[in-house]
Structure 1
Amino acid sequence: MYAVIFEVKIKEEGKDQYLAIAAKLKEQLIQMDGFISIERFQSLVEEGKLLSLSYWESIESIEIWKQNLDHLQAQSEGRAKLFEDYRIRIADVVKDYTMETSDFS
């Protein structure tokens, strides 16, 4: 399993548009083979900073999503009009457990 960590600093005037684009893309995203889940968080420290955390079954699934035409258009629009800055990290999840599945007693 892989995690995609997308941190983005949104221009003040672009937040509503960004969230609308993200909601539209999510409709396609949840239909993708290899997609597991996504959540979005807002920074408590840095105003305007959001984090999207998605989980995927494979690197190949992430690459296919990255080349989705609507996603490519959203990336271009984000860089041109909505983002002050962004950072993307892709991480290999080496362990995944819950309270019920943990080894701790």
Structure 2
Amino acid sequence: MYGVIFEVEIQENKKDEYLQIATKLKEQLINEKGFISIERFQSLVNENKLLSLSFWEDEKSILNWKKNLDHFAAQKKGRESIFKDYRIRVVEVKRDYTLQSSDFKDR
């Protein structure tokens, strides 16, 4: 399993536009082969800084989504007129457990 950590700082007065685009893309994203889940978080100290955390079955699925034409157009628009800055990290999940599945629950 892989995770994509997308940190973005939005230009002033562009947050609503960004969120509208993201909402439209999510309709396609949830049907993308290899997609597992996505969540979005907002910084507590900078309301224009957001983080999207998505999980994927494999790296190939991430690359396929990156090439999606609507996603590609959204990336271009973001770089040209919405983003102040961004950072993307693609990570491989080495372990995945919960409170219920953890070995520490009985200790």
Distance 1:26 1:33 in 2: 13
Residue in structure 2 matched with residue 65 of structure 1 by the alignment = 65
Q: Match of 1:13, SS?
A: coil
Structure 1 residue ranges without an equivalent (≥5): none
- How do 1:4-23 residues align onto structure 2 when only pairs under 5 Å count? 4-23=4-23
Q: Report the TM-score when normalising by structure 2.
A: 0.96
User: What is the SS of the residue equivalent to 2:14?
Assistant: helix
Q: How far is 1:47 from its partner?
A: 3.0
Q: Distance in 2 between matches of 1:32 and 1:61?
A: 8
Query: Equivalent pairs: percent with the same residue?
Result: 65
Letter aligned with residue 91 of structure 2 = A
Unmatched 5+ residue regions in structure 2? none
CA–CA distance in structure 1, aligned partners of residues 3 and 86 of structure 2: 16
Question: Take 2:12 and 2:3, find their aligned partners in 1: how far apart are those partners?
Answer: 27
**Runs of 4+ in structure 1 displaced over 2 angstroms?**
none
User: Cα offset for 1:45?
Assistant: 2.0
1:102 & 1:24 partners in 2: Cα distance? 36
Q: CA deviation at 1:13?
A: 1.5
Counterpart of 1:94 in 2: which secondary structure? Answer: coil
* 1:26 corresponds to: 26
RMSD of Structure 2 on Structure 1 (CA): 0.6
- For normalisation by structure 1, the TM-score amounts to 0.98
Structure 2: distance between partners of 1:83 and 1:40: 16
Letter aligned with residue 24 of structure 1: K
**Partner residue of 1:74?**
74
1:101 paired to 2:70: no
